[in-house]
Copies of this chain bind each other. A is one copy, B any other.
Amino acid sequence: MTLAKPAFPAPDHDHRRCTADALAHAEAVCEQRAQKFTPIRRQVLGALLSSHRPLGAYEVIDELAKSMARPAPITVYRALDFLMANGLVHRIESRNAYLACAAHDHDATSAVAFLICERCGLVGEISSASFAKDLNAAARSSGFAPKLSVVEITGVCAHCQKMS
């Protein structure tokens, strides 16, 4: 069992830096692929990066409205589509919400599992090659050819456990 990262956003982490890193990473990815990291795209990613919580599309709109003219839904959806296509944003299916990708290293193909804290709402990513293998093996054993896996685990994060 090999875990990629500490996974869950610690309450005392350097969020300033974490945001800056993510934006820098996004820039790098876009440049590398000759994709344009336009102002709205940057702003939408910025909105998502402002917390480690998944935001619904309308929450993103609200967030952006604080610093610019309220964007139309379509504008935000286009940006979200772009960011997802480039692996910079994940969609959390169980919430119909979007989350800035925190793991700047996982390849697009490997399965990612999300840890969603039901207390604070923060979400961590774990990308364990081992459970993905097991999962796919279990699926295949009944003749099923797996493509895309959604793994979302709700529970209580380490920090919130201490608080109780």
A38 within 8 A of partner (CB):
no
In the assembled complex, the Cα of A141 lies from the Cα of B93 at a distance in Å of 24
Chain B neighbourhood of A115, CB < 8 A: 139, 142, 144, 146
Q: Is the CB of A151 within 8 A of B154?
A: no
Q: Is the CB of A145 within 8 A of B161?
A: yes
Q: Is the CB of A153 within 8 A of B142?
A: no
A152 within 8 A of partner (CB):
yes
Chain B neighbourhood of A148, CB < 8 A: 153-155
Q: Is the CB of B161 within 8 A of A147?
A: no
27 inter-chain pairs at a CB distance below 8 angstroms, sorted by A residue, are A1-B137, A1-B138, A3-B142, A6-B142, A8-B144, A93-B94, A93-B150, A94-B150, A113-B135, A115-B144, A124-B142, A128-B138, A130-B134, A131-B134, A135-B153, A139-B153, A143-B157, A143-B158, A144-B157, A144-B158, A145-B156, A146-B153, A146-B155, A147-B153, A147-B154, A150-B151, A150-B152
A50 within 8 A of partner (CB):
no
Query: Which B residue's beta carbon lies closest to that of A159?
Result: B143
In the assembled complex, the Cα of A142 lies from the Cα of B146 at a distance in Å of 27
Count this chain's copies in the assembly: 2
Q: Please give the distance in Å from A151's CB to the nearest CB on chain B.
A: 5
A26 within 8 A of partner (CB):
no
Q: Is the CB of B150 within 8 A of A153?
A: yes
In the assembled complex, the Cα of A130 lies from the Cα of B136 at a distance in Å of 12
Given contacts A8-B143, A143-B158, A144-B158, contact A126 B153 (CB under 8 A): no
Q: Mark A99-123, 1 if CB is under 8 A from B, else 0.
A: 0000000000000010101100000
